[in-house]
Amino acid sequence: MDPRRYPSIVAAITALTAQACGQLAPTPEAVSNGSGAAGTAGQNAAGTSSAGGSAGNVPIGDAGGRPDCASDLLLDGQPVTLIGEQRVFYSWTTDEQVTELRAGTELFSRSERAGQGRGLLFTELATFAQAASTPERKLADRLVNETFAKARFAWTNPWATLLGLSGETYGNQLLKIELVPEAWIARFDRYGIGVFDQNNARVPIDMALANPQRIGAIFYQSSGEPSSAHCGTFLQGAVGFREFALGNAAMVERWSLATTEIGDRMKSDIAELRAFEQQLDCVGDTSNWVNDLSCSWDNGYYANSARDRYDFSLALPSELYRPSATNLEALIAALEASLPTGEPLDVILVQ
**For the residues 26-39, what does the mean pLDDT come to?**
30
Given the DSSP bridges, would you call strands 88-93 and 345-348 parallel, antiparallel or unpaired? Answer: unpaired
- Across 189-223, b (16+ Cβ under 10 Å) vs e yields bbebbbbbbbebebbebeebbeebebbbbbbbbbb
Under the banding of pLDDT at 50, 70 and 90, the label for residue 268 is very high
Q: What is the mean pLDDT of the chain?
A: 77
Residues 332, 274: contact at Cβ < 8 Å?
A: yes
What is the DSSP code string of 28-64?
----------TT-TT--TTS-----------BSSSTT
**For the residues 323-347, what does the mean pLDDT come to?**
96
Under the banding of pLDDT at 50, 70 and 90, the label for residue 167 is low
What is the DSSP code string of 301-336?
----SHHHHHHHH-S---GGGSSSHHHHHHHHHHHH
pLDDT given for residue 184 in this prediction: 98
Predicted confidence (pLDDT) at residue 61 exceeds the cutoff of 80: no
What is the DSSP code string of 117-128?
BS-HHHHHHHHH
Determine the Cα–Cα distance for residues 115 and 21; give it in Å rounded to an integer: 47
Strands across the sheet with 88-93, in order?
88-93, 173-179, 252-257, 345-348
Query: Counting every residue, how long is the chain?
Result: 351
Residues 245, 151: contact at Cβ < 8 Å?
A: yes
> Residue 275: what are its φ and ψ, rounded to 5°?
-65, -40
| DSSP code of residue 113 | B
Contacts of 169 (CB under 8 A, 6+ apart): 6, 7, 8, 9, 10, 92, 161, 162, 163
Under the banding of pLDDT at 50, 70 and 90, the label for residue 139 is very high
Q: What is the CA radius of gyration of the chain?
A: 19
pLDDT given for residue 160 in this prediction: 95
**For the residues 134-157, what does the mean pLDDT come to?**
95
Residues 140, 129: contact at Cβ < 8 Å?
A: yes
pLDDT given for residue 113 in this prediction: 60
- Count of Cβ atoms closer than 10 Å to residue 265 Cβ: 18
pLDDT given for residue 116 in this prediction: 56
CA 136 to chain centre: 24
Under the banding of pLDDT at 50, 70 and 90, the label for residue 70 is low
Helix axes 306-313, 289-299, angle to 10 degrees: 90
